[in-house]
Each structure stands twice: as structure tokens, then as C-alpha cells.
Amino acid sequence: MQLDKLTRIDLNLLVVLQVLLEEQSVTRAAVRLNLSQSALSKSLSRLRETLGDPLFSRTAHGLKPTAHALALAERLPGVLQALNQLVMPPSFDPASSTRTFSFAMVESAYETLIPGFIGPLLSMAPGLRLNSYVWNEKSISDLQLGQIDFGIDGIDLQPEANFRIDSLPEGICHQTLYQDQQICLVRKGHPAIALLGEGKWDLSRYLELAHVQVRCEGNDWWALDYYLATQGKQRHLCATVPDFYGAASVCANTDLVFTLPQSFARHASKLYALEMLPLPFDFMPLAYVLLWHQRNDGDPGHRWIRELITQSARKSFGDKLKWTQD
């Protein structure tokens, strides 16, 4: 190791570089770092001189990273996290910690998971700051880049699903919180309720009805739709909406069927005039999983939060939700 070269590098510049890579704007990066734009521009000039590369070019849409800067972006979060852990105390005291942790969660997990762990977490660690975001198609990349600490996503266990537990990106660790199953929501008095009572609620009747769907991670189709497609079948998706509450409201005020995880269906049926029906055919469950990057695996604070969330989820849901019509 050439320590003499490291002595000539201001490690604070690495933090500046990381923020510039995230924001791709001198103005926004300066605000985040609490610096003037002039001071940040000087830091960028020093970075360019130290690293021997322009790093960014200016465009009408902000800063565009060079190929070298993009290569650094893949390694820099791990380097900064390692430096952060190097200067942290060897243990984590929840009662006195003032650290900030960030989450990205699928919408259906907010009402089903957060109420179980947020109270105990803040009770034991009142100085923590928690930032939460909605899980989207960029969240896995944000985990890899260190822009968020944790992800909670619902992963279909159907073999045809595009995003599976056994094919997570390199460096992403996971812990299964609980398994869930898809069920149907319909308005009070919906004809499908009578079909269930008469023993006529089956796949053909399900496909005859119109459906409302939530657009998840930019996709209009869920694993259920791909599964049906393998059998040459397709639901009539009459309406696609951006969130679960919107779909539940549409369902309560129309004859549209809403197919969704049972954990959220139980919550929605308490808020709207809705009835739960079983999915009238066999379909594999989905798993709600806690995700993090392996660089944080040994961090005491991360480990404490992971254990608290896992214990809370298992206390609330057990190992698997089973269909019950109550």
C-alpha cells in the first residue's frame, strides 16, 4: 500500500464526488453539502486534478459523468461505507444514537409492517432519524449505490416472475419476513359473493369479470398475469391505478375486482365497504423480504434494525398467512 500517496489526498473530496454523482448538479450538491457553489466548484477542480480525469461534462440537463466517474460510482459507496464503519464506535447504543437510516418500501408494506416496528424502534432509539421512500424500479440500484439502507419488497415466488429471491443482484442480501397470498376484494353486495356461496366461484367466472390493477415498479402486469398468459388466459384489466388505496377505493365503488396480497386486503376491508374472496385457482405465494447491501452486513446499527423488523413481522404474521374469510 502506497501510504505516501494517500497522504496527499483530501478524503473529504470523496464525499463531494459521491454527492455529485448522486445529484449530477453543482447547485443541488452544494445545498446537500452546505457549501457555496463557488466552494464546490473548487472542490471539483481539485478532484479533477487528483484523479486525472474531467469526471463530469456540463449539459443542458446538468452534469454528465465520464466513463471513469461511472466506474468510480460502482466502487465509491463501498469505500465510503467502509471508512464510515472504520471511525464508528464498535457497538451500537440505540438509546443514544443519532444516526439516520433510510428505507424504500412497497406501498402494501407501509400499513402492514411499519405500524408493528416503528413504535418500538423509536421508543428504544428516540434519537434516530428515519427517511422512507416508495419502492420503485430504481430502488435496487439505490441499495447498491448506498443511497438507501434498507428495502422491503414483495417478491413473487412464481417461477416465471422476473424478480426472484434466487436471482437478486450481486451484493444484495435478504431476509424473508413472511409469506403472503393473493386474494380478491369486491364491493359489498358484489355478484361474486353469491357465486362463492353457491360453489360457482372459479377461474372462468373470475376471468369474466373486469379488474382493477395497481401499477407496480412501472409494470401494468403482475406475476399473476404472466402466469395466466402461460395458459393462454388473460384478465380484463379495465383500470390501472398508481396505488393500493386508489385501487381499493375504485373497487368499493364499482363492480371491478381487485386482486392483491391478503395482508393489505385485510387492512383495506376495514377502511372501505369491501369483502374478501379467495383467489379461485391455485397460485404460488409471494414473500415480503427485507433487503440490504452486504457492505452493511456487519454494521451493529443495521443489524439491530434488521433484527427488530424481522421479529416484528414474524410476531404480526407468523411464517405464513392462510386464507380465512373473517
Which pLDDT score is estimated for 89? 62
Which pLDDT score is estimated for 222? 84
Question: pTM score, two decimals?
Answer: 0.68
Which pLDDT score is estimated for 196? 95
For residues 183 and 276, what is the distance between their CA atoms, to the nearest angstrom?
7
pLDDT higher than 70, residue 87: yes
pLDDT higher than 70, residue 2: no
> What's the rounded mean pLDDT across residues 110-132?
89
C-alpha atoms less than 13 angstroms from C-alpha of 301 in its C-beta half-sphere: 25
Which pLDDT score is estimated for 11? 82
pLDDT higher than 50, residue 320: no
- pLDDT band with cut points at 50, 70 and 90 for residue 6: low
- pLDDT band with cut points at 50, 70 and 90 for residue 307: very high
For residues 212 and 255, what is the distance between their CA atoms, to the nearest angstrom?
10
- pLDDT band with cut points at 50, 70 and 90 for residue 110: confident
Calculated CA dihedral for residues 232, 233, 236, 237, nearest 10 degrees: -80
What's the mean pLDDT when you consider all of the chain?
Answer: 87
Which pLDDT score is estimated for 287? 86
Residues near 10 by beta carbon (within 8 Å), at least 6 away in sequence = 46, 50
pLDDT higher than 50, residue 302: yes
Q: What pLDDT, in 10s, does the model give residues 227-249?
A: 999 999 999 999 999 999 999 99
Q: What pLDDT, in 10s, does the model give residues 148-169?
A: 999 998 887 555 444 556 678 8
Residue from 167, 166, 165, 138 nearest 154 by CA: 165
3-state secondary structure of 142: helix
Q: What pLDDT, in 10s, does the model give residues 191-235?
A: 999 999 999 999 999 999 999 999 887 778 888 998 999 999 999
> What's the rounded mean pLDDT across residues 118-140?
91
Structural domains of the chain ordered from first start: 3-87 (1.10.10.10), 100-180+287-317 (3.40.190.10), 182-284 (3.40.190.10)
Phi/psi of residue 138, nearest 5 degrees = -100, -5
3-state secondary structure of 290: strand
